[in-house]
Structure 1
Amino acid sequence: MMNLLPLMLERVGILLIVAFLLSRLKSFRHIIHRQHVLTDKIKLIFIFGTFAMISNYTGVEIQGTGQTGTQAWQTWISSDSAIANTRIMGVVVGGLLGGPLVGTGVGIIAGLHRFTLGGFTAFACGMSSILAGIVTGFIGKRLRIMDKSALWKTVIIGILMECIQMGIILATAPPFAAALSLVNIITVPMVVINGFGMLLFMLVIQAVLQEESRTRALQTHQVFEIADQTLPYFRQGLNPHSCREAAAVILSRTNADAISITDSQQVLAHVGEGSDHHVPLERLSTRLTRKVLSTGTVMKAVSRDEIQCRQPDCCLEAAIVLPLKVHEKTVGTLKLYFKNPGRLDQVEQEVAEGLGRLFSTQLELAEAEQQRKRLKDAEIKALQAQIHPHFLFNAFNTVSALCRTDPEKARMLLLQMSSFFRSNLQGARQPLIPLYKELENVNAYLAIEQARFPGKFTLETKIDPSLKTVGVPPFLLQPLVENALRYAFPSQVEDEKGKVTLSVYRDGEYIMLKAEDNGQGIEPYLLQQLGKREIQSARGTGTALYNISKRIEEMFGAEADFRIRSKPGSGTAITIRLPIQHSLWRDLYA
């Protein structure tokens, strides 16, 4: 019995060497990692079935006299002999790893092959192999291979399967005396060696899975790190500047020797090797790129001829070209070039494909952002255009009356109207204007209103001079003054003189714009709605205040604030807060 241990250990060593060599193959690692796919399960049946057959062939013959045979490769066994082998190891590991289908398949292959070799235990060993495959296959559905306890569970399961095999031999292999003698000789060596072999085999499998997981994690980290650094550039769309900056980031974070980014017509950026003839803003120079643009599929080249560069002595000899798509339409390409084809391995290819998909998503988001911005600009301009129609008709009526009584004053009012509506037209084309321009609009408006209602109101301004060049949305203050004059001071109260105070001051990183009046105030039920929606009341609809609130919300989001404070008989104060350092300011004065 003891002399059987080193012989079986030698056989286990052969299988483990084969397992280790297989684990170095990418195809095997992919099969192990994706064994839920039917084709991969079939491959696992073939692999572990082969292991079981090798175990049968390399088993140690136990002759009827109890002596061990000397033949290294067992192709046939006499009727009074049996073999001690590691067949159960391949069956158990295959079943635990691949589930019922793999376990059953490997068990059938191992059992039938063992049956063909002969010997008085042929039937018993064949049946035990099939049974072990079925049982371990169903156990494998619940076993988590990567758990720490999986190793010892596998060893225990393997030992149990060996013990069951010994029981089947005793029950079915005639004569019983020979079967008992065989079991006494092989039980301990086979249990020990198969248990030890399964432990080592599972360590190899776990190492494969862990290595694959680490590689995936590193690839994911690398892709997301590159995507994070290139996001600000791809959000600008495909243009020479954004592509040049993005290409530089990709080059520094990958093993590529050069990076190119193109649109559908020309090279937008090329950084790294080959920059002497892969020149930005020139037409596409490689047929490989044009083919990717036309087919929308990833293509790889591992030679200079496959790249088909127009420069015969180009140093770049391998490339992977990825389509950049927006809404399933190929709008450009990302190209990773290598001087040595060997550097374009599976890892680099998977990283590149991940980047291509992420960049396509970023470009789609950039286009959606541009469309949203265009829609928002159109909405803002539509809101601005709603503010002044009624004022235009009132001003014309005033000028018409003055043409008879005071032509000179009528001429001056026409000039003010010209200035006012010129600013209105310019404001419809610009998101921001300097504060002093907005104050000019207010003064032009007041000149017209004072001609209509002389002595009805006064205006006091408290403006921080350092804020006069700060950008504000056009027609932000003028509607507030207009609202005060129309609603705060009723025309039927002739003996009261209204007062409007405009204040502009700094509050940290914000500019505060405030319009106060000493008028009749606003009823509480109206105050809750003003600025939030248009309303229906005898005194007005609140359209101007709603438009202002809506405009600054669309332009500045949560950074802007619009508040109305009022009490009946105590006047009204409207305060607007805007961020001074908002990006729109920088865009305006860059």
Structure 2
Amino acid sequence: MINLLMLFMLLLERLGLIMVLAFLLVNDRFFRQLIQERSKREKVILILIFALFVVIANLTGIEISGNEKLIERPVLPMLSHTDSLANTRTLVITAASLVGGPFVGTCVGLIGGVHRYIQGNFSDAFYILGCALVGLIIGKVADRIKGSQLFPSNKEIALLGIFAELIQMTFIGFFNNWNLVRLIIVPMVLLNSIGVTLFMSILKTYLSNERQLKAVQTKDVLDLTNATLPYLRQGLSLKSAQKVCEIIMSHTNFDAVGLTDTVNVLAHVGVASDHHIAGQAVITDLSKQVIASGQKQLAYTKEQIACPNHACQLQSAIVVPLKINEKTIGTLKMYLTDPSKLTQLEGNLAEGLAQIFSGQLAIGIAEEQTKLANNAEIRALQAQINPHFFFNTINTISALMRFDVDKARQALLELSNFFRTSLKGGQEKEVSLEQEKSHVDSFMSIENLRFPGRYQLTYQIDVPLSVKLPPFCLQVMVENAIKHAFKDRKHDNWIKVEVKKLADEEMFLVKVSDNGSGIKQEVLERIGREVITESSGTGSALVNLNQRLINLYGSQSQLNFTTSETGTSVETKIPIKGVIE
């Protein structure tokens, strides 16, 4: 009669062997990645791994003789026709199904069943079908009940372990011996259920710890990114590099951190800062190799770092290139005084930081180039305004000189005053409302000298005269009204300038209205957005102004026109705080 307690204890020993192998397996990052991918390649590798396990389970089983005695041998390469085998094969097949899915489970079951068939001197072929069905059924059921999770719960895994062994016992009973099933079913079911639960618990614990570690590392990287962004966007300089290195030191466990460009050390914080000095040439061979090759380098010894200072305490290092558009512009260096602390984790952290820092530097350069381009465009647009007004004024003075020299002289003085202030304002992206109002007054003085009493200009200003707006903003809108609103009308032509703060907004409204004849609908849709060739004048000044407003403040400040037969108004909204940075 089989000693069930002895059988159970012997099977626990075999289970211990499988658990040791499982522990070694789940410690391997490559195996953990295989589990989460489940592509064809990964499934093939999982089948090979679990096939090895299932063969080991067969070879290390407990032999049960025909007269129901336990025969303990270290390895069982072959069995007699009359003997049976108690082992952990079903446990391995169940684990394979849970880890790799029904395809992996079925393949591992087939391999285990075929090996058991060969091991039993080509008897008991039912094991081939039975083991394959265990893999297929458990894999299908597990995939169905796990939902969005990677694996079923531990309770569900334990029940699946019991179910898998019951399937195997059913095949043994039908095709071999029900008496044997009654004798071994309890220890075998318990073994499979406990074993597969332990195996999956070990695996889930490692995966959970790895996710937590990644989450912590991700948070550290995000904190570092947030803290270093303002400095890296300034570019690689001695000042910004020093701040970045200090921040990295405060967030990590490295003993020293450095940044270089392609020639000099920009900053070095921590151990060995007495001879790794900012502003001096890069001295370590390791850093020079990274700058030359553009590839990450790890050093596990002082000799690999190759610092010419023999008293240097730095014993291991990670040096990662900083790149913009695939061109190496510098290096990020992280050092440790204890080589044993340099692990894959530190290497991944350094590489991730270097990629983020490279991106931040690239963004900083792109922003600076965009800002310079915008400034250049604004300067070019501003330069177009002065000639536009200048030639109109010269024409006015030329006409005045024919019949009133004194008025022409006064107009020249007004023109001189206008250009004196415009030259000053033309160097700025914004001027004060007071300065802009002075421009308009000079402009209107010249127009009224030529056409006395034709135009009436009024102001309604409810904001401080210190608020900022683009130079020539009011002048262009007022000039446009004079040129286009009134046609040949000589009297009762009024223009109103309103400047007021908008409620609940950090913006103020600039509005110029007239009582002219309005704008044709087909022209209204294009005015301020494109040059209009079919009307008197091209409207290029308004296009110019509209573009400057958008460049300075964004699309919220573009010109808006409203018109009717009784007049037209043009308005823009300008942030009180001024230019967008």
Task: Sort the Cα spacing of 1:120 and 1:515 in 2 relative to 1 into closer, same or farther, 3 A.
Answer: closer
Pairing partner for 2:325 from 327, 332, 354: 327
Is residue 433–residue 473 contact of structure 1 (8 Å, CA) maintained in 2? Answer: yes
Matches within 5 A, 1:12-411: 12-34=15-37, 36=39, 38=41, 40-99=42-101, 102-103=104-105, 106-107=108-109, 109-115=111-117, 117-118=119-120, 123-125=125-127, 128-129=130-131, 132-133=134-135, 144=146, 146=149, 149-170=152-173, 179-400=177-398
My pick for the range that moved more, 196-205 or 334-343, is 334-343
Is residue 109–residue 132 contact of structure 2 (8 Å, CA) maintained in 1? Answer: yes
Is residue 63–residue 80 contact of structure 1 (8 Å, CA) maintained in 2? Answer: yes
CA deviation profile, 1:49-104 (whole Å, cap 9, x unmatched): 33323323332221221122244544554443222111111122123312466435
**In structure 2, the residue corresponding to 1:467 is in which secondary structure?**
coil
CA deviation profile, 1:507-533 (whole Å, cap 9, x unmatched): 57434444455x425247355654455
Is residue 286–residue 306 contact of structure 2 (8 Å, CA) maintained in 1? Answer: yes
Name the residue aligned to 2:575: 579
CA deviation profile, 1:329-360 (whole Å, cap 9, x unmatched): 33333233323333332223223322222333
Q: Tell me the C-alpha RMSD between the 2 structures.
A: 3.7
CA deviation profile, 1:346-404 (whole Å, cap 9, x unmatched): 22322332222233333333333334334433443443344454433333334445667
CA deviation profile, 1:162-215 (whole Å, cap 9, x unmatched): 344344445555xxxxx3443332233212321221122222222232223323
Task: Sort the Cα spacing of 1:480 and 1:49 in 2 relative to 1 into closer, same or farther, 3 A.
Answer: same
Is residue 519–residue 568 contact of structure 2 (8 Å, CA) maintained in 1? Answer: no
Task: Sort the Cα spacing of 1:451 and 1:319 in 2 relative to 1 into closer, same or farther, 3 A.
Answer: farther
Name the residue aligned to 1:176: none
Matches within 5 A, 1:551-570: 551-558=548-555, 560=557, 562-564=559-561, 567-569=564-566
CA deviation profile, 1:124-160 (whole Å, cap 9, x unmatched): 4466445544665666766749467454554454444
Distance 1:287 1:444 in 2: 69
Distance 2:367 2:238 in 1: 19
Pairing partner for 1:483 from 466, 480, 484: 480
Amino acid at match of 1:66: E
Task: Sort the Cα spacing of 1:37 and 1:212 in 2 relative to 1 into closer, same or farther, 3 A.
Answer: farther
Task: Sort the Cα spacing of 1:166 and 1:537 in 2 relative to 1 into closer, same or farther, 3 A.
Answer: same
**In structure 1, the residue corresponding to 2:63 is in which secondary structure?**
strand
Distance 1:583 1:287 in 2: 47
TM value normalised by structure 2 = 0.84
Task: Sort the Cα spacing of 1:541 and 1:283 in 2 relative to 1 into closer, same or farther, 3 A.
Answer: same
Task: Sort the Cα spacing of 1:86 and 1:157 in 2 relative to 1 into closer, same or farther, 3 A.
Answer: same
**In structure 2, the residue corresponding to 1:477 is in which secondary structure?**
helix
CA deviation profile, 1:243-301 (whole Å, cap 9, x unmatched): 33333333322222333233333333333333333333333333323322333322222
Is residue 263–residue 281 contact of structure 2 (8 Å, CA) maintained in 1? Answer: yes
Is residue 486–residue 517 contact of structure 2 (8 Å, CA) maintained in 1? Answer: no
TM value normalised by structure 1 = 0.83
Distance 2:432 2:313 in 1: 55
Is residue 81–residue 120 contact of structure 1 (8 Å, CA) maintained in 2? Answer: no
Count of matched residue positions in the alignment of Structure 1 and Structure 2: 574
* Long gaps (5+) in structure 1: 174-178
Task: Sort the Cα spacing of 1:239 and 1:458 in 2 relative to 1 into closer, same or farther, 3 A.
Answer: farther
* Long gaps (5+) in structure 2: none
Amino acid at match of 1:97: V
Distance 2:367 2:433 in 1: 28
Distance 1:556 1:132 in 2: 69
Task: Sort the Cα spacing of 1:403 and 1:263 in 2 relative to 1 into closer, same or farther, 3 A.
Answer: farther
My pick for the range that moved more, 408-417 or 384-393, is 408-417
Identity of aligned residues (%): 38
Is residue 94–residue 161 contact of structure 2 (8 Å, CA) maintained in 1? Answer: yes
Is residue 170–residue 180 contact of structure 1 (8 Å, CA) maintained in 2? Answer: yes
Is residue 96–residue 139 contact of structure 1 (8 Å, CA) maintained in 2? Answer: no
Amino acid at match of 1:60: I
**In structure 1, the residue corresponding to 2:283 is in which secondary structure?**
coil
Pairing partner for 1:432 from 421, 430, 433: 430
Amino acid at match of 1:93: A
Using the TM superposition, give the Cα deviation of residue 420 of structure 1 relative to its aligned residue in structure 2, in angstroms. Answer: 4.2
Distance 1:401 1:520 in 2: 25
Is residue 98–residue 140 contact of structure 1 (8 Å, CA) maintained in 2? Answer: no
Task: Sort the Cα spacing of 1:265 and 1:522 in 2 relative to 1 into closer, same or farther, 3 A.
Answer: farther
Distance 2:573 2:84 in 1: 93
My pick for the range that moved more, 337-346 or 148-157, is 148-157
| 1:472 lines up with 2:474 in the alignment | no
Is residue 255–residue 343 contact of structure 1 (8 Å, CA) maintained in 2? Answer: no
Distance 1:489 1:120 in 2: 109
Is residue 552–residue 579 contact of structure 2 (8 Å, CA) maintained in 1? Answer: no
Pairing partner for 1:545 from 542, 559, 571: 542
